[in-house]
Amino acid sequence: MTVSLAHERALWDAGARLVAGIDEVGRGALAGPVSVGVVVLGPCETWPEGLTDSKLLTAARREALMEPLSTFGEGRAVGHASAGEIDAVGIVAALRLAARRALEEIALPVDAVLLDGTHDWLTPPPADLFSGLGDDAEEWEAPPVTMVVKGDRACASIAAGSVIAKVERDALMAAAHADHPAYGWDGNKGYGAAAHLDALRRLGPSPLHRVSWRLPTREA
């Protein structure tokens, strides 16, 4: 599937001036942050050649796209939520926190969001009896969200967000590998590869593991 600006154009035609494409990386990992890439576009006609879902690109091709993506659109940023924050508030709220950080870094008046997938994790849930107990990430109003199934393969803005998030998170995990080499994060980036699971059974979790998740039990 080739990316296009069809979904973005529909929102521009409906009156939105700035549209943010958003995608996440690291949701299913056992260690490290969850990272959310945001790319904000105003009306335009082109996108970097070869842009598509980051999972369909080699690491070298993702890296090569970073320079053209640095001038694509009106703004771009990657937000992160740490393993500790994931443990504290859960993965959905952590995704929202990471996206909020990226949007606040860009600091542009985004009128609409294109979000990859089928579940709107960006919009905070309605207030309830437990609201206001310290999770200030929920005290935030997200721009209107349009979900796009396989949006990272269909929308240029979402694909761009997926690439910048993947490159930045991979770099963070490669750097973390230097301090925790036994888990093989330079290769598996914190996901549940066999060598990573074996290291967890031998060594137990590191400070960068999501300990609220069902990790392999350390062997006696």
Q: Encode pLDDT of 16-45 as tens digits.
A: 999 999 999 999 999 999 999 999 999 999
Model confidence over 136-177: pLDDT tens digits? 445 788 999 999 999 999 999 999 999 999 999 999 999 999
Q: Does the domain formed by 6-179 have CATH 3.40.630.30?
A: no
Q: What gap in Å lies between CA 135 and CA 86, rounded to an integer?
A: 12
Mean of pLDDT over the chain: 94
Q: Is 24 annotated as a binding residue?
A: yes
For 50-77, what is the mean pLDDT? 97
Q: Above pLDDT 90, what percent of the chain?
A: 89
| Confidence tier at 130 by pLDDT (50, 70, 90) | low
**Cross-sheet strand order for the sheet of 145-148:** 75-81, 34-41, 19-25, 112-116, 145-148
Q: Is 198 annotated as a binding residue?
A: no
Q: Which amino acid is at 141?
A: E
pLDDT at 2: 83
Does the structure show a pLDDT above 80 at 135? no
pLDDT at 218: 84
pLDDT at 67: 97
pLDDT at 220: 64
* Stated pTM of the model: 0.93
Q: Which amino acid is at 162?
A: S
Phi, psi of 206 (to 5 degrees): -90, 175
- DSSP label at residue 137: G
